[in-house]
């Protein structure tokens, strides 16, 4: 099993004829992600990596029964692309594009909630269930199927966790990157609930960072989880008021510091990691 996506998913790429879209499509075909086509207005009838290109998401869904979309279009086109996908019946959306206007993100996230769509991003590195389906920029060649779930806002930190797990001979069930913007769709708590229900996930690595209150809301879920949660919050030395990397990674009050967040996660029952090297202590 896996969370959110698996071998039964049917994937579209919105922006498939662009440089980024073509790169994703080529890798998905090579590593057997169940991709069924792509969408670029005005390019309908063309092919990318032998995949059909459609003018609209509605047309693509009608022909392919797609239920997932990876959006990699220009930031100013993201809102239109996301709303079109949701109105066409797509139920899982990854917005890979960064630089999406905040007001557009607010509209997208609100509409996703109304339509019961699982939204990752904007500015998400994506989601992958190794060996089954990959809507992320984590290359399949470095991934190993296993029984550890990862949920993170940071793509870069996720890459490091994956590599260190691999060095320990451990693999992952699913990896979920929420996105680094201030306003995003799914939160850590949503993914924790999904991992707790997944029979193939035996432990979860929770990668947090400074800014926002997502970690605080996650503690209420961790308290009742049946599986061990290992937490790492990045940004211990980040100064208050200075944005660190992501648009959402800025400390506005004491509760948003890495130390305070890690403290709350530990109190909820999470096993805290001070450094990534501590992953060698994970037991599954």
Q: Is 254 part of a structural domain of the chain? A: yes
C-alpha span between 13 and 33 (Å, rounded): 12
Whether 33 is in a domain gets the answer yes
d(CA 146, CA 265): 24
Domain membership of residue 138 (yes or no) is: no
Question: Does a structural domain hold residue 54?
Answer: yes
Task: Name the average pLDDT for the chain.
Answer: 90
Quick one: 181 and 68 in the same domain? no
pTM above 0.85, yes or no: yes
Q: What band does 202 get if pLDDT is binned at 50, 70 and 90?
A: very high
Whether residue 136 contacts residue 175, with contact meaning beta carbons closer than 8 Å, is answered with yes
Cβ neighbors of 272 (< 8 A, separation 6 or more) are: 230, 231, 232, 262, 265, 266
> What residues form DSSP beta bridges with 71?
14, 95
Last residue of some domain: 120, 155, 177?
120
Strand (E) or helix (H) holding 168: none
- Same-domain status, 112 and 150: no
Q: Which residues are catalytic?
A: 246
The C-alpha angle 186, 191, 197, rounded to 5 degrees, equals 145
Same-domain pairing of 266 and 152 = yes
Domain extent at residue 170 = 144-281
Q: Are the C-beta atoms of 77 and 57 separated by less than 8 Å?
A: no
Q: Are 113 and 12 in contact (CB under 8 A)?
A: no
Residue-wise pLDDT for 142-185, tens only, equals 999 999 999 998 888 899 899 989 988 999 999 999 998 889 99
148 shares a domain with 116: no
CA distances from 71 to 29, 63, 156, 259 (A): 17, 19, 20, 35
What pLDDT is recorded for position 153?
87
The enclosing domain of 105 has a CATH number of: 3.40.50.720
Burial class (CB in 10 A: 0-12, 13-18, 19+), 227: middle
Q: According to the model, what pLDDT value does residue 277 have?
A: 52
pLDDT (mean) for 82-111:
97
- 212 belongs to a structural domain: yes
- Decide if pLDDT at 243 tops 70: no
pLDDT above 60: residue 113: yes
Structural domain ending residue among the three candidates 55, 88, 120: 120
Q: How confident is the model at residue 280 (pLDDT cuts 50, 70, 90)?
A: low
Asked whether residue 178 is domain-assigned, the answer is yes
pLDDT bin (cut points 50, 70, 90) of residue 21 is very high
- Give the whole-angstrom CA distance, residue 181 versus residue 184: 6
Write down which residue in 88, 120, 152 finishes a domain: 120
Q: How far apart are CA 138 and CA 146, in angstroms?
A: 16
Number of domains in the chain: 2
Q: Is 42 exposed, middle or buried (0-12, 13-18, 19+ CB in 10 A)?
A: exposed
**Is residue 162 domain-shared with residue 273, that is, in the same domain?**
yes
Please give, one letter per residue, the 3-state secondary structure of 220-265: HHHCCCCCCEEEEEECCCCCCCCCCCCCCCCCCCHHHCHHHHHHHH
Are residues 30 and 91 both part of a single domain? yes
Same domain, 51 and 152: no
As a whole-number percent, the residues of the chain with pLDDT over 90 amount to: 73
- 264 falls in which pLDDT band (50, 70, 90)? confident
Is the domain of 148 the same as that of 261?
yes
Asked if 236 contacts 145 with a C-beta cutoff of 8 angstroms, the reply is no
In a domain, 129, yes or no: no
Count of CB atoms within 10 A of residue 220's CB?
11
CATH number reported for the structural domain that contains residue 238 in this entry: 3.40.50.261
One domain for residues 232 and 111: no
Q: Are residues 175 and 241 in the same domain?
A: yes
């Amino acid at each position: 099993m896996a969370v959110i996506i698996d071998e039964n998913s049917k994937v579209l790429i919105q922006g498939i004829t662009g440089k980024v879209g073509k790169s994703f499509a080529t890798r998905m075909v090579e590593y057997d992600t169940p991709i069924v086509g792509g969408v670029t207005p005005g390019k309908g009838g063309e092919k990318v990596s032998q995949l059909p290109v459609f003018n609209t998401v509605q047309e693509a869904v009608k022909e392919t029964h797609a239920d997932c979309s990876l959006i990699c279009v220009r930031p100013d086109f993201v809102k239109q692309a996301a709303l079109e996908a949701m109105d066409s019946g797509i139920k899982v959306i990854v917005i890979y594009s960064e630089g999406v206007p905040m007001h557009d993100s607010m509209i997208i996230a609100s509409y996703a909630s109304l339509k019961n769509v699982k939204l990752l991003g904007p500015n998400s590195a994506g989601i992958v269930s190794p060996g089954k389906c990959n809507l992320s920029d984590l290359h399949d060649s470095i991934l190993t199927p296993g029984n550890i779930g990862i949920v993170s806002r940071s793509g870069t930190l996720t890459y490091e966790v994956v590599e260190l797990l691999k060095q320990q001979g451990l693999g992952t069930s699913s990896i979920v990157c929420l996105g680094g913007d201030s306003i995003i769709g799914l939160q850590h708590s949503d993914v924790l609930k999904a991992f707790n229900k997944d029979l193939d996930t035996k432990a979860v690595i929770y990668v947090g960072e400074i800014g926002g209150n997502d970690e605080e809301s996650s503690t209420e879920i961790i308290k009742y989880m049946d599986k061990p949660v290992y937490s790492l919050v990045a940004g211990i030395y980040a100064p208050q008021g200075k944005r660190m990397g992501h648009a959402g990674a800025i400390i506005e009050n004491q509760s948003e510091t890495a130390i305070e967040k890690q403290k709350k996660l530990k109190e909820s029952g999470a096993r805290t990691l001070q450094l990534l090297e501590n992953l060698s202590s994970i037991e599954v």
